[in-house]
Amino acid sequence: MSDVAGVPTALEPGHPRPDRPPPLVVTESLSKHFPVRPGVLRVASPFARAVDGVSIRVRYGETVGLVGESGCGKSTLGRLLVRLVEPTVGRIVFEGRDLTRWTEDALRPLRRRMQIVSQNPTSSLNPRMTVRDLVGEAIRIHKLARSRAQESDRIVKWVERVGMRPAVLDLHPHELSAGQAQRVAIARALSVEPKFVVCDEPTASLDVSVQAHILNLLVDLQETMGIAYLLISHDLVLVSRVSHRVAVMYRGRIVEQAFAKDLCLRPLHPYTKALVASAPQLDPGRIRARLPVARAMPSSALPPSGCGFYERCPRAAAGTCDRNVPILEEIPDGSGHEVACWFPAEG
SS (H, E, C) 320-336: CCCCCCCCCEECCCCCC
Q: Tell me, yes or no, whether 2 lies in a domain.
A: no
Q: Classify residue 269: in a domain, yes or no.
A: yes
Instruction: Report if residue 26 sits inside a domain.
Output: yes
Whether residue 145 is contained in a domain is answered as yes
What is the total count of domains within the chain?
1
| Residue scoring higher pLDDT (101 or 40) | 101
> Do 335 and 259 touch, CB atoms closer than 8 A?
yes
Residues 6+ away with beta carbon under 8 Å from 19? none
Which pTM was predicted? 0.87
pLDDT digits (tens, 9 = 90+) for 132-165: 999 999 999 999 999 999 999 999 999 999 999 9
Question: Which pLDDT value is given to residue 145?
Answer: 92
Q: Do 199 and 117 contact (CB within 8 A), yes or no?
A: yes
Instruction: Report yes or no on 344 lying in a domain.
Output: no
The whole-number average pLDDT for the span 95-119 is 91
Residue 101: which pLDDT band, with cuts at 50, 70 and 90? confident
Q: Provide, for the chain, the percentages of residues in helix, strand and coil under a 3-state DSSP scheme, each rounded to the nearest 5.
A: 35, 20, 45
| Amino acid, res. 154 | R
Domain of 250: which CATH number? 3.40.50.300
Under the banding of pLDDT at 50, 70 and 90, the label for residue 121 is confident
For 41, the domain range is 15-339
Q: Is residue 6 part of a domain?
A: no
- Cα–Cα dist 199/65, whole Å: 10
The pLDDT value recorded for residue 82 is 95
Dist CA 267 CA 258 (whole Å): 9
pLDDT digits (tens, 9 = 90+) for 48-92: 889 999 999 999 999 999 999 988 999 999 999 999 999 999 999
Length of the chain (residues)? 347
